[in-house]
A and B are shown apart, each in its own frame.
Chain A
Amino acid sequence: MLPSEINLSPIFSGDNSFRFFVAVKKRFCYNAIQFKERSQIFVRSLEGQDVQKEATPLAKKVIHTTINGEAHTHEVEPRMLLIHYIRDVVGLTGSHIGCETSLCGACTVSVNGQAVKSCTMLAVQADGAEITTIEGLAQNGDLHPIQEGFWERHGLQCGFCTPGMIMAAHQLLARNSNPTEEEIRHGLEGNLCRCTGYQHIVEAVQYAAGKMQG
């Protein structure tokens, strides 16, 4: 990909200019040696020579997690993202992958009580953590009040954003049990919905807040 084709603006403040690209590269230890080696590999491949084999995978790491109350131990590659661990290794596919660029919030899960975008966290960073995913909210077959709110107030259409939206709402209500409409909108800023226009989502959270206060 040429620098000019990369749109970094969603996660960096900057534009697509070459100057910006070089600054990021420079800052992030894309050092000269790596660059030289790579360009040599590239040239060799163009010349039809043997291309250096991919390095053998680096050591995996054992991690222990508790997800929705259940203990798990797995060996993972350090570069595995938490969302891939949850979906592909543990098999809980309720948390979705939307943008993969930390913007949409579809991958939101709770790690030690903090809502996080699990596409922007390594599984190894969650070693020892208590994780709650959307699957962990309902108890004994009864929907959580937030889930019930989304049902009652039509807080979803396609449902793709819903697991993340509910986990973000869960964080919001844990910190503020009686939020104003503005606080709800502010608290869900990290989650995008392409269907509902948000109004029904806000109402769903209001429903849940009322119900949770009894």
Chain B
Amino acid sequence: MIPGSFEYFAPTALDEALSLLQEHGDDAKVLAGGHSLIPTMKLRLAEPAVIIDIGGIGSLKGISESDGNLVIGALTTHHELESSDLVQQKVPLLAETAAEIGDVQVRNKGTIGGSLAHADPAADWPATILALDADLQITGPNGERTVKATDFFQGLYETDLGDDEILTAIHVSIPDANTKGTYLKLHQVASGFALTGVAVVLTKSGDTCQSVAVGITGVSEAPYRASGVESGLTGSALSAENIAAAAERAVDGITALEDIHASEAYRQNLAKVYTRRAIEAAAS
């Protein structure tokens, strides 16, 4: 299990990486933590002629606070997000999600940017990033642009990211004190990926649901916001009955995946049950 041959570049600046991408076009792949790309290359499912290792670009690393936002560099590892004091104080949902990914070694290498760009249908980050309504900052030959998480994921391994673009940072607005987040996941036992993962961000006013955002991964070809659940619960009292009724809409308009791990009906049921439990946890 050895990757095919490739030419290797290790730029230390974003500009340099972008011009390498321009130059090599379709033949090139960006390498971040390598924990999706290298396994794919070992299986020869991917045989890029050129690898552009962005691991040495300092400006893509680190977590900071700015104007009520957490700004997370694309190269920030799952472990850094799991263990950061700033993240735990400001948006604990991010740390909670990171802790659910793979194992210690995977979290030490894998990056949030790599996970979002890769867009595995059962990756954990997409659910949480959707529920937090994050903005993704992308740089390409025509400069910088920002995309809402809701517009970023487009299908099985498909995102809004162009071949010549690099995801540079994720902006998450820091929720107020009345807002609570939860991420709840059923691990597929062999791979650890999400058979279903539900992220909920809920704002309460008294016992009423002022607003709720629900991001779901693992169920469909692309992660999605469960808008039926959201509209069903917003403005209602957070009673067990109301939560259960809203959660029933977790797969409205969605085609659930069917594969060797789970049938379509099982995934639909999981989505509803995990949505209900995640909302209950966020409401408690």
| Chain A residues within 8 Å of B, Cβ to Cβ | 6, 8-17, 19-21, 23-31, 33-34, 55, 57-59, 61, 77-81, 84, 100-102, 105, 108, 114-117, 119-122, 124-125, 127, 168, 171-172, 175, 187, 189-191
Contact = CB atoms under 8 A, between A and B. Distances in A.
| Size range of the chain B interface in the assembly | 35 or more
Contact of A31 (B26, B43, B123): B26
Interface stretch (B89-97, B100-108, B176-184, B240-248): B100-108
B39 A29 contact: no
B190 A10 contact: yes
B276 interface: no
Contacts of B120: 12-14
A59 B106 CA distance: 29
Contacts of A120: 34-35, 38-39, 109
Contacts of A20: 156, 259
A101 B39 contact: yes
Nearest to B156: A23
Contacts of A14: 120-122, 259
Interface in B194-230: 194, 218
16 contacts: A9-B260, A13-B123, A14-B121, A20-B156, A28-B37, A28-B40, A31-B27, A102-B35, A102-B106, A116-B105, A122-B31, A122-B34, A124-B53, A171-B108, A172-B104, A190-B103
Given A12-B191, A101-B42, A187-B104, 4 more contacts: A8-B43, A23-B158, A57-B5, A191-B103
Contacts of B157: 23-24, 26-27
Contacts of A9: 188, 190-191, 260-261
A27 B39 CA distance: 14
Nearest to B260: A15
A29 B29 contact: yes
